[in-house]
Structure 1
Amino acid sequence: MAWILLLLAGLAEIVFALSLKYNEGFTKLYPSLVTAASGGASFYLLMLSLKTLPVGTAYAIWTGMGAAGVAVLGVFFLKESTDLWRLLSIALVVVGVIGLKLSHVE
């Protein structure tokens, strides 16, 4: 269950980070509400997952999911760079997240 909570926290973190692009310094109401709700949900779900998971593993996976997810979605929806080094770097983050999950013994 903790891994599902962490996955949901990571997805909420992606929504949070992307919504920062659209709230224009919290001057737009609906994007600002999305930012607040997804940020709160992300932290809350992370906190719940930490009841079972080690903080180092969970935090690294949470931030990695957020970073890689936002970078990938930025390429597809925001027309951000697809430079080889950028794509390789994103891949390394994904490999690191997978490695942390696989190395966790319950």
Structure 2
Amino acid sequence: MGWFYLLLAGVFEIAFTTAIRFTDGFTKVLPSALVLLLATISIYFVTKASTTMPLGTAYAAWGGFGALGTVAIGILYFGEPVTVWRMVFLSLLIISIIGLKLVTE
């Protein structure tokens, strides 16, 4: 169940990091409130995950899921560049998350 909670935490992390783009430096109230709400939900789910798995694994996977998703959103919706090195390092991140999944009891 911990990995399911981590997946949910990652989805909400992707949502809150994407929403940050619309806060204009946290000067816009609604987008800023949305970021805080989504971040709270994300942290709730990573906290739930850490009750059934090692905290370090939960935190690393949460950050990895969020980073991967946020980069994907940036590429797909905001026209951020797709470079060979970016894809190499994202691939390493994916391999690392899979490795954590395989070695976590």
TM-score bracket relative to the smaller structure: over 0.9
Tell me what 2:29 maps to: 29
Q: What is the CA-CA distance between 1:44 and the residue it aligns to?
A: 1.0
Percent same amino acid at aligned positions? 38
The one-letter code sitting in structure 2 at the alignment partner of 1:65 is: F
1:5-51 deviation digits (Å, cap 9, x = unpaired): 11101111111111111111222222112201110001111111111
The answer to which of 21-30 and 72-81 deviates more is 21-30
Number of aligned residues: 105
Tell me what 2:71 maps to: 71
Tell me what 2:47 maps to: 47
SS at match of 2:21: helix
Instruction: Give structure 1 stretches of 5+ with no counterpart.
Output: none
TM-score by length of 2: 0.93
Tell me what 1:94 maps to: 94
The answer to which of 69-78 and 28-37 deviates more is 28-37
TM-score by length of 1: 0.93
Q: What is the CA-CA distance between 1:57 and the residue it aligns to?
A: 0.7
Instruction: Give structure 2 stretches of 5+ with no counterpart.
Output: none
